[in-house]
């Protein structure tokens, strides 16, 4: 999701840099827009470095010395259509007044009129300016029109006075933005352990058995859980992916290492989602020296690896256990069988032969089978959206088991 952050000219403008970081940690893409006076307090370069994007400082490219063109003249419309929320922090008394009266005399105020995305303003100013009837009237108008106002804190102000006017804390602003975006922190009390990627089983120092898993589904689960406020432990086989920020990564290679890591950390977890494509077999013998060609046809003797999911299910308490099933045929029948045989609460099944599903693609087409007999077939969705739907079902199961245990016992 994309957020435009309008920074206006107040001493608190430097705090917007920290806000950018926190919004990014929530997985939001941030486009910064600065008013002219904001640039007196902090340089656009700071925000450009943090966001990796050009900071919008002028209404028209020509104002910044670059040649004007149609693209720059209507950029506010393009930005207005692209964003999911407009945040203005800090918002000065002057900017609040311009917003309230619909004066569109710079990029930020024009964007405010042009966007239909939710608007969040976090004012910061001198206490007398804050308490002035004009400012309060402007805030009332903005609230009436649907803007969320994150009220300033009380305390020492840069002007030397004490009172209301300090920019609200970064967390309060971030929460208001997440609320406006409809992103909830409904996994806040959970610790989610996710397994991801393939495992590798060595034959000799240069050869190994593995599978086509890219880890994308597992990393999407880790990211979705993190964004919903969970503490996340990601046990991952080798992948080419960057771990999502804020996630604790435990890197493993073999099934035995994944087995140990999962059992070690499972006690901390309230939800376990096992998206890893675990090798079912490993060579009985791992040769310490490279096998040489030439001694006739070779055959490899294999032995089964431990079934991590099933083992966890045997020892589980009220932890919710999510298994994945990668199938090539009879998806529903195989998934229901796995739900029972593995003792999982939920199986996410997909037919890996379908286009847009399975290995190394950005999307997945899955059906979710729950232990209370429901089957939810989802359309082709980005893996991140699939991950969110999985956690929606996990929370449903959690509610079901809570309401089961609150049914009064018969005497």
In the complex, which residues of this chain contact ligand CTP (CB under 6 A)?
Answer: 195, 255, 274, 276, 278, 280, 305, 307-309, 323-326, 338
Examine the residue annotation and report whether 159 is marked as an active-site residue of this protein. yes
The least distance separating ligand CTP from the CB of residue 195, rounded to whole angstroms, comes to: 6
The least distance separating ligand CTP from the CB of residue 155, rounded to whole angstroms, comes to: 51
Q: Half-sphere exposure of 46 toward its Cβ, with a 13 Å CA cutoff?
A: 17
Q: Which is nearer to ligand CTP, 87 or 325 (CB)?
A: 325
Q: Which is nearer to ligand CTP, 164 or 302 (CB)?
A: 302
Among residues 17, 159, 164, 250, the one annotated as catalytic is 159
The least distance separating ligand CTP from the CB of residue 201, rounded to whole angstroms, comes to: 11
Q: Which is nearer to ligand CTP, 14 or 281 (CB)?
A: 281
Q: Which is nearer to ligand CTP, 195 or 388 (CB)?
A: 195
The least distance separating ligand CTP from the CB of residue 111, rounded to whole angstroms, comes to: 46
The least distance separating ligand CTP from the CB of residue 314, rounded to whole angstroms, comes to: 12
Q: Which is nearer to ligand CTP, 177 or 348 (CB)?
A: 348
Residues annotated as catalytic are 159
């Amino acid at each position: 999701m994309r957020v435009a952050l309008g920074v206006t000219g107040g001493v608190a403008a430097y705090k917007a840099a920290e806000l950018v970081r926190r919004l990014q940690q929530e997985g939001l893409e941030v486009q910064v827009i600065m008013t002219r006076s904001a640039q007196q307090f902090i340089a656009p370069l700071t925000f450009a470095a943090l966001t990796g994007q050009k900071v919008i400082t002028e209404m028209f490219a020509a104002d910044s010395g670059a040649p004007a063109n149609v693209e720059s003249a209507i950029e506010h419309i393009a930005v207005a259509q692209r964003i999911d929320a407009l945040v203005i922090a800090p918002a000065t008394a002057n900017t609040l007044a311009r917003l309230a009266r619909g004066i569109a005399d710079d990029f930020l105020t024009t964007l405010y009129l042009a966007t239909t995305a939710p608007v969040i303003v976090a004012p910061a100013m001198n206490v007398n300016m804050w308490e002035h009837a004009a400012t309060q009237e402007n805030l009332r108008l903005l609230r009436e029109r649907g803007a969320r106002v994150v009220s300033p804190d009380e305390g020492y102000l840069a002007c030397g006075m004490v009172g209301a006017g300090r920019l609200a804390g970064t967390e309060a602003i971030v929460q208001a933005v997440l609320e406006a975006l409809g992103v909830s922190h409904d996994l806040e009390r959970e610790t989610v352990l996710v397994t991801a990627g393939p495992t590798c089983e060595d034959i000799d120092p240069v050869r190994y058995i593995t599978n086509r898993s890219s880890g994308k589904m597992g990393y999407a689960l880790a990211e979705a859980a993190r964004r919903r406020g969970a503490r996340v432990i990601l046990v991952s086989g080798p992948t080419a992916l960057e771990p999502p920020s804020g996630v604790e990564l435990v890197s493993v290679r073999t099934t035995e290492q994944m087995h140990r890591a999962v059992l070690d950390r499972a006690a901390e977890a309230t939800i376990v989602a096992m998206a890893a494509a675990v090798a079912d077999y490993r060579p009985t013998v791992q040769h310490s020296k490279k096998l040489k060609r030439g001694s006739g046809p070779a055959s490899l003797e294999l032995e089964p690896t431990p079934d991590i999911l099933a083992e966890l299910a045997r020892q589980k308490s009220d932890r919710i256990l999510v298994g994945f099933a990668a199938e090539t045929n009879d998806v529903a029948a195989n998934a229901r069988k796995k739900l029972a045989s593995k003792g999982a609460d939920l199986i996410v099944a997909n037919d890996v032969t379908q286009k847009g599903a399975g290995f190394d693609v950005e999307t997945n087409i899955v059906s979710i089978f729950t232990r209370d007999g429901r089957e939810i077939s989802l359309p082709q969705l980005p893996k991140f959206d699939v991950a969110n739907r999985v956690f929606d079902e996990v929370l449903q199961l959690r509610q079901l088991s809570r309401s089961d245990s609150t049914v009064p016992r018969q005497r």
